[in-house]
Structure 1
Amino acid sequence: MQTEARDPEKESEWEEPPSMLWGLDPMFNAFVRLYIKDILQMRESCQVPGIYFYNSHPIFKVDVLATVVYKREKEDFFCYGVDDGTGVINCLCWKNEQWKYQDDSAKSGAKSLGRSTHGGFDPASELRKLQQAQYSSSNLDIGDVLRVRGPVKTSRQQRELMASTYYKVSDPVMAVQISWMLEVPRLYRQCYDKPFQLEKHAKDSDTQGTSADILLGRATRILKDFLKERVVTRFRPYDVQELLQPLFSSQPQKTTSEQEPEPGPSRGPSTSSKHLKQLLLDSLQVLQDEGLIFRKVKSQDEVYLVTEQDKNLLMAIRDIIKEDCQREKYAEKGCHVLHVLSSVRQRYSRNVSKAALEVALKALECNSDIISTSDSHYTVL
């Protein structure tokens, strides 16, 4: 694809942000899962060659899952043309040095394998098997599905990918491709199609950190440290309220001339107490959103349970996974997170959030009580 010539009228409509601000965008250092059509149409940076912009997001490396539609092999690399349904792009995939001698090693490996069948385990033979499997995953044919990651380059007025990692995807039932087709549109909606205002973000970064946000961050850290150091299993809001009191005493006080006269001797303390309670509620809500705490029963007696320390919750999750993995439906792949969440809400508490469940699953996995078979499936040892 030919690169677009610089048009002064178009540049006046969209001004490229300074390169010093690119690092503020989290997409800059990520392998971005873009459609090939968008990779081919991205605008190249005028400041730094090799950097491209999609909807004001600076991008230089991408992640692509596509089908090989043509192949060209050279001595040092493979050149695969891949198609994801939106476009075709070249992928330059460098060979490993050992692949140049793969044919000879395969023959010698077959001979040594025949000699070692009666002698037990042969490390050299097993190593050759692993090398052969790695070679097979790197040598693709037309029709194979290729997963490739790497920077985008413009060579001879054509866009191409310089693969830093690539392999053949074994996807007989198209599970990987279906998952990819569901994930990429969500990323577009939530991230890629939302312009990131780098300059505005940089100018407002100092003002956005208001005193209220800073105060909430400090209060949240205090509560997290308290739960971690004391190994608390459950608590009520008034048990931890005094931990946040020093935050108000350390705030700069208004001078006498700045303070407005307030009727009644108790007006000042009640206002301060009201702010303290609101800060506590906001901090507890942050901990709940992160799944670190939850309320088993929502009642006037506000009791918060610490997710990682709630042995009853951990035991209930482990029992659910152990029982359901014995069923034929979950025997091979394990139980999905949403299935476990639904069962936990039926057996233990309907107030357990997905975030709290993920924290509990992570704790169980760290203790080797369960293992993850994929990003969202779990089974018992």
Structure 2
Amino acid sequence: MFNYGVDDGTGVVNCCCWKPKGRDKPAAVNPDSSFREFVTDKIQTHQMQQLTCMELGDIIHVRGRLNRYRNRVEVSASYFRKVEDQSCKAEIYRMEELPNMYQNVYDRPFVLPSIVTSQLRLESEESESGVQREADLVDRLCIYLRSQLGDPSNGFQNFFLRELETIEAVMDIASCPCLEYKQDSVGGKAPIRQIRNIIKQSVDRLDREGIVIRSGNEKEMFQVAQESLTSWLEKTILKILRADCQLPKYEKGCHYLHVMDRLHNLNPFQNISAQAVKLALDRLEEQSEVISTTFKHFIPFS
């Protein structure tokens, strides 16, 4: 790794720039690694080559996470590059920006955002009363549904949201006492709004993870993303990309939302979500079937 002291006008902070793994080895495509990992390694190697030729007084652009090491705050850099600024425009712009930063940020007392204070209050109530929060119940239900939907012997092929309310194990989790709905409970029973919200949030999370896919027939109906359905979705997306990327308008790649709109015209995928489309495109990129020209645009590999 390389360590650099970076002065942003308010003080000097240590920046830790880690070497990418295997940087000293010859660059070659590992058949067991994805195309994205190979490109990322090449970018990081280029960044390291830039860092090794830096001198005192150079301007560096660093992005990363704040960590504490030996009781000192440092930046663990995920992105870094040397800024060529011969006319000092970037440095002058930063100096002009600092008075506003002091007035609006640095000199103001730190106040926790309302969403953080609300979460801390709920955690405190949970520890005192033993009653679980909604997020905890959603986590528990997701774990149960993953175990059931991933087992072909259970016979889960497709289901409606309301059908989950007939499963005893689902209801046992969704109807547990919940802090967010304690005022709506009557006679110690969980309100129906709590049960349906927890089930819906759990299935929505499984949809984002690609475990289930919204059916083309009904908005509240879901299909388990088995291998056959996933393969069909990926082949359909490839077919769309190969056709549309021939057009001048999409020669630099199709936006994943455009792919989703095209899928909505096909019967099996009329209600497919953007997250499911993006997940399928990521799998295709890992298989070197497509290439991402930006974070949101894709073209077929061949």
Q: TM-score, normalised by structure 2?
A: 0.50
Q: Is the radius of gyration larger for structure 1 or structure 2?
A: 1
